[in-house]
Chains A and B, each alone.
Chain A
Amino acid sequence: MKEKWGAGMRTRKKVKNYMALKLIIFGTLAAAVILMAVFAPYLTPFDPYEQDLGNALLPPGRVHFLGTDRYGRDMLSRVIMGSQTTIFSALFLVSVVTVIGSVLGIICGYCGGRGDSFLMRLSDIFLAFPGMVFAIAAASVMNGGIWNAVAALACISWPKYARIARSQVMSVKNQPYIAAARLSGSGFWKIIGKHVVPNIAGPVVVTAVLDIGTMMMEIAGLSFLGLGATPPTAEWGSMMSNGRSMLQTSPWVILAPGAAIFLTVMIFNLMGDTVRDFLDPRQRKR
């Protein structure tokens, strides 16, 4: 009996170790991508904005590893430089949306009342609206540009976080430990900060990490439609858009940023999945 228990503990530990390993691998990959974005200006072999019309549309070769685009700009340099725009705006977007959404959700969930009903009906409206359509409409009204694209996407994505945070708070606020904290003389903000936030952070963080990939796709999508980054800024979506007429003649112009988007989004999604598995409440019960 004792042995059986021991074996069970060992397998569970193994599962935990396996997940920790996965988390480390994807965490490292994601960190590598982010570091690439941070140090992009030092990593580019060529100036990503210097035009060299004599070397336009060169296929991938020894000098230009991923070829050149129609202005003769080095694709590898542009892909590396473009990571900055895409990844930073996605991370910025996710963090802004997470903070705004969960602050609203926490306050709504904890205080309830009319403000809560109003904000939740508002979020219902946003949730019922097709996200990308709203983002396209809002971004085009605001005349494009990467910051306007981020703002448009932030507008449409905060309700998701408000909802998650609110539902979590609703279940946490009736726990006796919140009453106990009140009896200990803790004020509103202390209870929120010390007892509510740590207990609802798990699901919110998981959603945020899982959303990084999606947000990247959406920013790239808006840029592809010409509503995000404006030329000549290196951005993966707009680079694909610029190259799309040359798909048959010089496919590297569109394949390089496409592959970059694919890989980055995949890395962040896999990391999100691993984080979710790791923080899953069913796994947490030791």
Chain B
Amino acid sequence: MQKLLEVKELKKTFYKNKIPLVAVNHVSFDLIRGECLGLVGESGCGKSTIAKIITHLTVPDTGSVFLDGEETLFWKGKEERKLYRNIQMVFQHPKDSFDPRCSLGDGVMESMRNYGMSKAQARERMYELLDMAELERKYACCYPHEVSGGQCQRAAIARALAPSPKLIICDEATSALDVTVQAQIVALLKKLQREQGLSLLLISHDLALVQAICDRILVMYQGDIVEQGTPDEVIMHPKEEYTKILVESVF
């Protein structure tokens, strides 16, 4: 039971026209190495903000994030790169997450090039990663608008795998895809988790998906974590009022 990621007392308030909106309210949770943790809740409850704070895309008001016991929120420059070697993210809209003017292969290779790999080496590894993500190699020279959402998301997964991270955060990674492709992507993530010993933080509003693949679930409501536990506990026997509503609204 080794903790990979520890989030403590995170708080983030957004101001819209000077009216404060608490997006994340003193949220704490742990992520154990090799586990698949689900984070569910309605839209606007602060799920994505947590992902953004962990990946340094947003700065929280207070709180801390520990990676392998080290505080990461103050990491800058070189240390920030260390963070990105350990934590990667797959975004909701696959096509928007690739530069429209770079090919998918270039997108996958970018991190390897940044970490000082030669072009030829990076290309070779890029093809291996595409194999791992079960995307045909010929798509490497396609541009994002030329491929389907599912193919693009596979490329995004390959990109996330490139620095061999310990944790991949999937921020609604399947929400923008159609149902059959969703199932394939989920199966792929599950397979990768098993084979590579990855940890996953799965952010979603889809309870069925989360129930299918997660080891543990956190339920968020208006910036707070209201309930946590195994899928059976949370979904089959919800304790909190909000979780009950959430579960009922699906079934």
Interface residues of A (CB under 8 A from B): 175-177, 179-186, 190, 194-195, 198-199, 286
Q: Which 3 A-B pairs have the closest CB atoms?
A: A184-B111, A185-B114, A176-B97
Is the beta-carbon distance between B98 and A180 smaller than 8 angstroms? yes
Contact with A along B86-114 (1 / 0, CB 8 A): 00110111001111111000010011001
The interface residues of chain A lying within 8 Å CB-to-CB of B110 are: 181, 184-186
Min CB gap A201→B, angstroms: 9
**Given known contacts A185-B111, A185-B115, A186-B110, A176 and B96 CB-to-CB distance under 8 angstroms:** yes
**Given known contacts A184-B114, A185-B81, A186-B110, A179 and B99 CB-to-CB distance under 8 angstroms:** no
Is the beta-carbon distance between B163 and A181 smaller than 8 angstroms? no
Q: What is the chain A residue whose CB lies nearest that of B55?
A: A183
The interface residues of chain B lying within 8 Å CB-to-CB of A190 are: 114
4 new A-B pairs (CB below 8 Å) besides A175-B96, A180-B97? Answer: A177-B100, A179-B89, A180-B156, A286-B145
- Complex CA distance for A195 and B98, rounded to whole angstroms: 10
Q: What is the chain B residue whose CB lies nearest that of A190?
A: B114
- Complex CA distance for A133 and B159, rounded to whole angstroms: 54
Q: What is the chain B residue whose CB lies nearest that of A184?
A: B111
Is the beta-carbon distance between B91 and A176 smaller than 8 angstroms? yes
Contact with A along B167-196 (1 / 0, CB 8 A): 000000000000000000000000000000
B57 CB within 8 Å of chain A:
yes
Majority secondary structure, B binding face: loop
A-B contact pairs, 7 of them (CB 8 A): A175-B96, A177-B96, A177-B98, A177-B99, A179-B57, A179-B89, A185-B163
Q: What is the chain A residue whose CB lies nearest that of B160?
A: A183
- Complex CA distance for A23 and B84, rounded to whole angstroms: 45
Is the beta-carbon distance between A180 and B91 smaller than 8 angstroms? yes
Contact pick for B100, options A184, A186, A194, A199, CB 8 Å = A199
Q: What is the chain B residue whose CB lies nearest that of A186?
A: B114
Contact pick for A195, options B91, B99, B111, B156, CB 8 Å = B99
- Complex CA distance for A180 and B57, rounded to whole angstroms: 10
B125 CB within 8 Å of chain A:
no
Is the beta-carbon distance between B57 and A182 smaller than 8 angstroms? yes
B85 CB within 8 Å of chain A:
yes
Contact with A along B57-98 (1 / 0, CB 8 A): 100000000000000000000000100110011011100111
**Given known contacts A176-B91, A190-B114, A183 and B84 CB-to-CB distance under 8 angstroms:** yes
Min CB gap A7→B, angstroms: 23
Min CB gap B44→A, angstroms: 17
Q: What is the chain A residue whose CB lies nearest that of B165?
A: A183
Is the beta-carbon distance between A183 and B100 smaller than 8 angstroms? no
Q: What is the chain A residue whose CB lies nearest that of B80?
A: A185
Is the beta-carbon distance between B88 and A183 smaller than 8 angstroms? yes
- Complex CA distance for A209 and B148, rounded to whole angstroms: 36
Min CB gap A216→B, angstroms: 31
The interface residues of chain A lying within 8 Å CB-to-CB of B81 are: 185
Min CB gap B138→A, angstroms: 19
The interface residues of chain B lying within 8 Å CB-to-CB of A181 are: 99, 110
Is the beta-carbon distance between B114 and A180 smaller than 8 angstroms? no
Within 8 A of A (CB), among B100-134: 100-102, 107, 110-111, 114-115
The interface residues of chain B lying within 8 Å CB-to-CB of A177 are: 96-100, 107
- Complex CA distance for A185 and B81, rounded to whole angstroms: 5
Q: What is the chain A residue whose CB lies nearest that of B52?
A: A179
Min CB gap B111→A, angstroms: 4
